[in-house]
Amino acid sequence: MTIRKKLIVGNWKMNKTSADAVTLVQELVAEVCKQTDVEVVVAPPFTAIEAVGKVLDGSSLKLGAQNVHPEASGAYTGEISVGMLRAIFTNYVILGHSERRTYFKETDAFINQKVLASLKGQLKPILCVGETLAEREGNQTLKVVQTQLEAGLEGVSKDLATSVVIAYEPVWAIGTGKVATTEQAQEVHAFIRSLLVKLFGDAVAQKVRILYGGSMKPANAPELLTQKDIDGGLIGGASLESRSFVDLIKAAAAAK
């Protein structure tokens, strides 16, 4: 029996107006606000985050952001700080997503600054790592994941490490309908756990949740979520509609 509570995170990416986001989260709250077996987080776009937070208030669901800037304030046009997110009771932030690495050229060093700033401000980072198809085919998967993980977590103390969530998202599985096999996913998750043991010791590593992301759907979730080192999901497409997201939460609750 694992000590880690399953975590399901909906990454809405650049989808939903504020009004549409409120409708969706009202449906979610109505269906799952009482369940406490699974921790549930929704990460709307910034324009909807405050309105969604108000709907979540008083429920067991938590609020996540999709990005943050490492500086506390200042001349950073278009950016949002940790303090701004905490002021509206944001609990989590997704960092190092492959879309930000690819389209916005975010480096491991910059992602690491965001991780450290988030932890300092009591915002829990969900650090995403994962290989491209070319890297997998070139047998580079574990090396890529190790580099991203170690660089992203540089300077994180043992005490704060349990507030970090890792998300393994093979880039080739994101939004493609191609899901990693349970063996492929579990192999990388176990490898990540072994790296966490080296970095922080076994007791801490056993507490850190490692999520799988990449075309996770109600149909494939039960098998993935019963793997020893898969502690939940970071969900894109299937989090945009209440039926499929609720089914994913139920799958996580059933996967003991």
Contacting residues toward ligand 13P, per CB under 6 A: 11, 97, 169, 174-175, 213-216, 234-238
Q: Is 139 exposed, middle or buried (0-12, 13-18, 19+ CB in 10 A)?
A: exposed
**Residue number with CB closer to ligand 13P (97 or 200):** 97
Annotated catalytic residue within 39, 69, 97, 135: 97
**Residue number with CB closer to ligand 13P (123 or 234):** 234
**Shortest Å distance, C-beta 239 to ligand 13P:** 7
**Shortest Å distance, C-beta 180 to ligand 13P:** 11
Strand partners, 213: 234
**Shortest Å distance, C-beta 218 to ligand 13P:** 12
**Residue number with CB closer to ligand 13P (121 or 218):** 218
Contacts from 221-224 at CB under 8 Å and sequence distance 24+?
221/247, 221/248, 221/251, 221/252, 221/255, 222/251, 222/254, 222/255, 223/182, 224/179, 224/182, 224/185
Does 97 participate in catalysis according to the annotation?
yes
Strand partners, 43: 11
Cβ(128)–Cβ(102) below 8 Å: no
Give the orientation angle of helix 18-32 with respect to helix 242-254, to 10 degrees. Answer: 40
**Residue number with CB closer to ligand 13P (204 or 239):** 239
Does 189 participate in catalysis according to the annotation?
no
Cβ(64)–Cβ(9) below 8 Å: yes
Cβ(46)–Cβ(101) below 8 Å: no
**Shortest Å distance, C-beta 199 to ligand 13P:** 23
- What the block records as the tokens of 121 is 């401000």
The residues annotated with a catalytic role in the active site are 97, 169
